[in-house]
Amino acid sequence: MDLRLGVGGPPTSAEKAAVDAVLGDPESSWLGGERTAAGGHIARGGHSARAQRHLLLPALQAVQASSGWVTPGALDYVCTRLTIPPAEAYGVAAFYSLLRTEPAATTVVHVCDDIACRCQGAEALCAEMEKRFGPPSEPGDTRAVSWVRSPCLGRCEQGSAALIQRAGQSPEMLSIAPASVAKIEHALGNGNGSKPLLDPTSPVRTDPAHRRLLRQVDVANPGSLSSYRAHGGYQMLRRALDMGPQGIIREIKEANLLGRGGAAFPTGLKWESVANNPVRPHYFICNADESEPGTFKDRVLIERDPFGVVEALTIAGYATGAERGYIYIRGEYPEAAERLCEAIEQARTQGLLGASIMGSEFHFDIELHRGAGAYIAGEETALFNSIEGHRPEPRNKPPFPTQAGLFAKPTGVNNVETLANVLEILRIGGAAFAELGTPTSTGTRLFCVSGCVERPGLYELEFGATLGELIAMAGGVSGGRPLQTVLLGGAAGSFVGPAALGTPLTFESVRAIGATLGSGVVLVLDDTIDVTDILRRIAQFFRDESCGQCVPCRVGTVRQEELLARMISRRPLGSPERELALLMDIGGVMRDASICGLGQTAAAAVQSAVSLGLIGGPSDGDRVAQQ
């Protein structure tokens, strides 16, 4: 693509209308409008146009939805409207997997072949897709319908998943789970058929009497604000307004709430740091870019309790002195995004967002921002860049987000599960919350159980229950087969063996065995699963998702995948022992020298598998052959 401004040709009328729907009508010919006599003498744009840089990704998404790819003419028009160099805008568009920068099919089917779905026959589904639709799409593929292999789509409890991305006059995105070629063909032939394409069964397996974070799930109607309020919704916001910001933060600190996104940072300290910063304005972001393979808890909360997410984010904004909040939701969650849009609009209509909330002097509103397919955008500083209209590459720290985050202003960031805890803390009080679990792991935790279990789904447990107890609640290993290993924490987590079944699921106990709770993934693998295949998919995932900004991660993830391929094919460079030592060295460099969590944890699963003897042993090939 020629990245000089003015050589892309004009956009189509549909592309121009799609961009204008996001940016508004152009004010002058300098910004793509009609040429007038005054336009030849007065230039408009500059700072005012660049102040809309945060609309770059939504504008590119609008073009993608209109044409099926970001055409040169449309890119040129977007750059003219926002006064952005074409090379910068192209760099943003090329970063995301749901945007295409070369001619493509107007309908693309994304078929998940990630770790959880691989345990349930994803390769067989991909083989059937190839028979029906031909080989996976390559750049420049202009078939009417094409398909691609996809990383995790966040429906791991349902065994298989697909996402249909359709462009044109009536663009749409549809999720399918469990997925099959018949269901996909039905959706392609019947247009909007999202509801029958999803299993309506609740993924929540915990008994209602023992739910805290999931209290409203399957009780209140997720599409009705009145139903939510009838079941106690927005009582905690009223309580928060009565307590005041300092009172809220005091309760959060007394509860000893640790973040549930993986880093386990004390939530009260983060909120206090934002609240005390004299720089204004403040922002608060709900990070719903849930892309860790094997994770689906945030999706369930959003789809089945969207008003709870909005209420909790509003409380967070009040406590930290923010007047604007953002929910950044991953692009592969169309149903969840629709739920949030409806919830935000209803809350705004009823005076629960906007000016003078509940008759108070508190003003707060929420903006929903959709991602476009980038795992690294879940890293908080990469998320800031994505919202601001830049490539979602992590920033160096310091400064930390509480000092200079979104738009270089003090910013609080928590994921959906962490915010759900806030409602429970205000309901029962920080001291009572701290009595749940253990002294250093307080409250309850959501676990995403998938793989080879009888009852995969979302489980809420007090910290302290053992791994074996959780798997037993899920019905045990499917068919009573022997347990081979469990992946804790997702692709960035660690494998543990049967000896770890007695380990309490707490931050401190899991850390003591060299593992992590991460995002709450519990992927159970029985003795029929080829672990080397799972490891290779994890290595491929990190190779694809590395932003490429720092050398240890950019090079290390590629070398890790290459080395695994050599070991699995039994073609080592030198002895197997030398290859294993090199593999551990690569992991060590990534862990110690990468600038963000992706590179620092990209080798964790592989190194834990080596430590358990799941790969690299003399009988490895024989075991796989027997399976």
Task: Encode pLDDT of 429-453 as tens digits.
Answer: 999 999 999 999 999 999 999 999 9
CB 136 within 8 A of CB 145: no
Per-residue pLDDT at 626 exceeds 80? no
Claim to verify: residue 616 and residue 487 sit in the same structural domain: no
- The model's pLDDT over 192-207, given as tens digits with 9 standing for 90+, comes to 444 468 999 999 999 9
- Angle (CA) 187-454-177 rounded to 5° is 10
CB 452 within 8 A of CB 529: yes
Domain assignment present for 470: yes
Domain boundary among 508, 526, 544: 526
CA distance 152 to 294: 7
Claim to verify: residue 539 and residue 520 sit in the same structural domain: no
CA distance 475 to 487: 17
Average pLDDT on 43-60 reads 82
Domain assignment present for 202: no
CA distance 354 to 412: 19
Amino acid 32: pLDDT: 57
pLDDT tier for residue 34 given thresholds of 50, 70 and 90: low
CA distance 332 to 249: 33
Claim to verify: residue 496 and residue 536 sit in the same structural domain: no
Q: In the beta sheet, which residues pair with residue 444?
A: 462
Domain assignment present for 43: yes
Amino acid 470: pLDDT: 98
Amino acid 621: pLDDT: 40
- The model's pLDDT over 503-531, given as tens digits with 9 standing for 90+, comes to 999 999 999 999 999 999 999 999 999 99
Q: Which residues contact 247 (CB under 8 A, 6 or more apart)?
A: none
Choose the weakest-confidence range: 151-165, 444-458, 610-624. Answer: 610-624
- The model's pLDDT over 113-157, given as tens digits with 9 standing for 90+, comes to 999 999 999 999 999 999 999 999 988 888 899 999 999 999 999
pLDDT tier for residue 1 given thresholds of 50, 70 and 90: low
Domain assignment present for 6: no
Claim to verify: residue 320 and residue 416 sit in the same structural domain: yes
Per-residue pLDDT at 376 exceeds 80? yes
Claim to verify: residue 243 and residue 374 sit in the same structural domain: yes
pLDDT tier for residue 5 given thresholds of 50, 70 and 90: confident
Closest-CA residue to 556 (of 565, 571, 543)? 543
Per-residue pLDDT at 108 exceeds 80? yes
CB 519 within 8 A of CB 619: no
Amino acid 236: pLDDT: 98
From first CA to last CA, the distance across the chain in angstroms is: 47
Domain boundary among 410, 432, 454: 432
Neighbours of 47 (CB within 10 A): 7
358: domain CATH number is: 3.40.50.11540
CA distance 386 to 364: 22
Claim to verify: residue 67 and residue 87 sit in the same structural domain: yes
CB neighbour class for 121 (10 Å; exposed up to 12, middle 13-18, buried from 19): middle
Average pLDDT on 77-83 reads 94
Amino acid 556: pLDDT: 97
Amino acid 335: pLDDT: 97
Q: In the beta sheet, which residues pair with residue 234?
A: none
Amino acid 259: pLDDT: 95
Per-residue pLDDT at 36 exceeds 70? no
CB 75 within 8 A of CB 86: yes
Express as a percent the part of the chain with pLDDT over 70: 94
Both structure tokens of 239? 């309580």
Claim to verify: residue 330 and residue 455 sit in the same structural domain: no
Per-residue pLDDT at 371 exceeds 70? yes
CA distance 31 to 612: 60
Chain centroid to CA 108: how far? Answer: 20
Domain boundary among 370, 405, 432: 432
232-238, long-range: CB < 8 A, 24+ apart: 233/307, 233/308, 233/311, 234/307, 234/311, 234/352, 235/427, 236/311, 236/312, 236/315, 236/422, 236/423, 236/426, 236/427, 237/311, 237/314, 237/315, 237/318, 237/352, 237/357, 237/358, 238/358
Q: Tell me what the pLDDT averaged over the chain comes to.
A: 93
3-state helix, strand, coil in the chain (%, to 5): 45, 15, 40
Domain assignment present for 5: no
pLDDT greater at residue 403 or residue 624: 403
Chain centroid to CA 594: how far? Answer: 21
CA distance 574 to 6: 54
- The model's pLDDT over 534-583, given as tens digits with 9 standing for 90+, comes to 999 999 999 999 999 999 999 999 999 999 999 888 888 988 889 999 99
Closest-CA residue to 366 (of 384, 382, 348, 350)? 348
Amino acid at 490: G
Q: In the beta sheet, which residues pair with residue 461?
A: 445
Choose the weakest-confidence range: 131-140, 389-398, 536-545, 596-605. Answer: 131-140
Amino acid 262: pLDDT: 81
Claim to verify: residue 346 and residue 419 sit in the same structural domain: yes
HSE value, Cβ hemisphere, 13 Å, CA-based, for 51: 5
Average pLDDT on 455-477 reads 98
Average pLDDT on 4-22 reads 91
Both structure tokens of 154? 């966040």
Express as a percent the part of the chain with pLDDT over 90: 87
pLDDT greater at residue 226 or residue 36: 226
Domain assignment present for 203: no
Claim to verify: residue 539 and residue 522 sit in the same structural domain: no
Q: Which residues contact 559 (CB under 8 A, 6 or more apart)?
A: 586
pTM recorded for the entire structure? 0.94
Claim to verify: residue 418 and residue 536 sit in the same structural domain: no
Domain assignment present for 555: yes
Show the domain range for 559.
531-626
Claim to verify: residue 312 and residue 378 sit in the same structural domain: yes
Claim to verify: residue 347 and residue 487 sit in the same structural domain: no
- The model's pLDDT over 336-351, given as tens digits with 9 standing for 90+, comes to 999 999 999 999 999 9
Amino acid 530: pLDDT: 95
Per-residue pLDDT at 87 exceeds 50? yes
Q: Which residues contact 131 (CB under 8 A, 6 or more apart)?
A: none
Domain assignment present for 100: no
120: domain CATH number is: 3.40.30.10
Per-residue pLDDT at 618 exceeds 70? no
* Tally of structural domains, the chain: 5
Closest-CA residue to 521 (of 533, 536, 538)? 538
Distances (CA, A) of 226 to 191, 300, 308, 314, 608: 31, 20, 13, 18, 49
Amino acid at 325: G
CB 252 within 8 A of CB 272: no
Amino acid 567: pLDDT: 87
